[in-house]
């Protein structure tokens, strides 16, 4: 799945549709009011966008009421006070494809290599900072950038395995989401997924995808 600028999904500009789906995906389960706060958009607008994306198959049928303790989610405190009225949304497989889809012209290999280098530099900075929320164990690159013959790259896909430094409230996804944003640095071509103690969605890397570990750097690639 790849989009050019100006295309639409369910009648919504593809950039905005992707932002909404990625917001819901990042929290695993998310209410429209919580998504509105996260996206800094009017609640009524986000509720309408979510309904359109649900009708188009990008979001599953909603869960009504509180979640079990085994699932992570995001909602407002005011909704929790009236739990029976709480409506939580979850992305479908089609929604996950939209969340990962690059938008715009493909990257050159040089641009993609630099973007990956920037992500890895931020990983180093985080691991050197004892006050950071996480310690990063590994970064695995997967997708088109792993193909040495590919001259054009849709986006840079990385799976990050991390551990929380603070062992309190490990099921809370917020620190993981903040880490993803920090590593992405507002670059939509950086598709960063962090798994930590709050992650319960299974394997990040699709079966059969090309992959290689890029952090820590393999011993045979390290300079003396």
Do 145 and 83 reside in the same domain of the chain?
Answer: no
Is 130 in the same domain as 92?
no
Q: Is 221 exposed, middle or buried (0-12, 13-18, 19+ CB in 10 A)?
A: exposed
Answer whether residue 1 is part of any domain.
Answer: no
* pLDDT attached to residue 224: 46
pTM (global) more than 0.95: no
Asked whether residue 94 falls in the same domain as residue 111, the answer is no
Q: What is the DSSP letter of 11?
A: T
Beta strand pairing call for 107-108 and 87-88: unpaired
Domain boundary among 70, 100, 130: 100
Question: Is residue 205 domain-shared with residue 185, that is, in the same domain?
Answer: yes
Instruction: Please check whether residue 3 lies inside any domain of the structure.
Output: no
Residues 197 and 177 grouped into a single domain: yes
pLDDT tens digits, one per residue of 136-145: 999 999 999 9
Domain that holds residue 34: 8-100
Please check whether residue 175 lies inside any domain of the structure: yes
87 in any annotated domain: yes
The verdict on residue 2 lying in a domain is no
Which residues lie below 8 Å from residue 134, measured CB to CB, with a gap of 6+? 126, 162, 163, 164, 165, 175, 176, 179, 194, 196
Q: 193 and 161 in one domain?
A: yes
SS3 category, 27 = helix
**Domain final residue, candidates 74, 100, 126:** 100
Separation between Cα atoms, residue 182 and residue 12, nearest integer Å: 27
Picking from 85, 100, 115, the residue at the C-terminal end of a domain is 100
Q: How far is CA 94 from CA 33, 98, 138, 203, 215, in A?
A: 23, 6, 28, 16, 30
State pLDDT tens for residues 69-121. 767 788 988 887 765 578 999 999 899 889 888 888 889 999 999 999 999 99
């Amino acid at each position: 799945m790849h989009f050019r600028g100006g295309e639409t999904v369910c009648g919504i500009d593809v950039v905005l549709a992707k932002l909404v789906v990625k917001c819901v995906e990042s929290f695993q389960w998310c209410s429209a009011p919580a998504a509105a706060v996260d996206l800094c958009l009017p609640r009524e607008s986000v509720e309408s966008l979510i309904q359109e994306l649900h009708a188009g198959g990008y979001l599953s049928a909603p869960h009504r009421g509180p979640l079990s303790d085994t699932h992570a989610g995001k909602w407002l405190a005011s909704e929790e006070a009236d739990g029976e009225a709480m409506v939580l949304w979850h992305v479908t497989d089609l929604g996950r494809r939209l969340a990962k889809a690059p938008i715009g012209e493909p990257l050159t290999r040089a641009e993609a290599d630099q973007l990956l280098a920037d992500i890895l530099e931020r990983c180093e900075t985080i691991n050197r900072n004892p006050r950071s929320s996480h310690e990063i164990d590994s970064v695995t690159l997967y997708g088109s950038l792993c193909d040495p013959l590919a001259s054009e790259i849709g986006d840079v896909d990385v799976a990050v395995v991390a551990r929380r430094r603070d062992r309190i409230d490990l099921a809370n996804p917020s620190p993981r989401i903040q880490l993803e944003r920090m590593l992405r640095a507002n670059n939509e071509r950086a598709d960063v997924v962090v798994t930590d103690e709050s992650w319960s969605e299974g394997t990040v890397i699709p079966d059969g995808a090309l992959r290689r570990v890029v952090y820590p750097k393999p011993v045979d690639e390290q300079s003396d």
